[in-house]
Amino acid sequence: MFTGIIQAVGDIARAEQRGGDVRLVIDVGTLDLGDVAAGDSLCVSGVCLTAVKIDGAGFAADVSVETLSCTTLGLLKSGDRVNLEKSLRLADRLGGHLVSGHVDGIGRAVSVESDARSQRWRFEVPAALARYIAAKGSICIDGVSLTVNDVDANCFGVNLIPHTMAMTTFQYKRVGDAVNIEVDLVARYLERLHSGVTT
């Protein structure tokens, strides 16, 4: 479990093809891995991955075919920047919202406008995801916890303050770029309860 508060921006050192899936080797930059061991979870641009190997500069993680099919991780290449967050401990502050790292789908940036010192971004998502997004609700974009400003059909808007821009990969994003989207956990469970499905 994560909070959506990015702790560092890292770089893809290598993306190795391995029998149909991929092993990512990630340079973590300023992120302290002193309390991380092989087998621990880290959030990489919104995707929960298991560290299979750790060294002084970073870690390696295997990405399954399923994860490659529903996230942007399959598009990553050497040098690409990624948002990083270590898993939440029970004693940690929950500064964002509860993020599972289980990406629901891929969205796309459709516009960026200045708003005083901030920026207003709009994203388009598949119709199947749009129903879970509500104005003033929480959304996770590439691992970043954000508040939804407004929703219109399959598009929604968020506001990015200067700090968020400076501390995440949003500083490198452009209109047209694909992003990982995780809807609020509560919305998923409410739909399940509302549908009346029983096990």
- Which CATH number is 66's domain given? 2.40.30.20
Residue 139 domain boundaries: 105-194
Decide if 110 is inside a domain. yes
**What is the identity of the amino acid at 133?**
I
pLDDT digits (tens, 9 = 90+) for 150-185: 999 999 999 999 999 999 999 999 999 999 999 987
Q: Which residue has the tokens 């990405």?
A: 63
- Asked if residue 199 has pLDDT above 90, the reply is no
Tens digit of pLDDT for each residue in 40-63? 999 999 999 999 999 979 999 999
Residues 66-84 have a mean pLDDT of 96
Does residue 66 form part of some domain?
yes
Q: Which residues contact 120 (CB under 8 A, 6 or more apart)?
A: 112, 113, 114, 149, 157, 158, 159, 160
> Residues 3, 166, 107, CA angle at the centre, nearest 5°?
60
Residues 50 and 130 in one domain: no
High-pLDDT (> 90) share of the chain, %:
84
How many domains in the chain? 2
> Rounded distance, CA 122 to CA 119, Å?
10
pTM of the predicted protein model: 0.92
What pLDDT does 193 receive? 67
Q: Is residue 150 part of a domain?
A: yes
**Assigned token pair, 133:** 């997004």
The two three-digit tokens of residue 39, written as one number: 């087998």
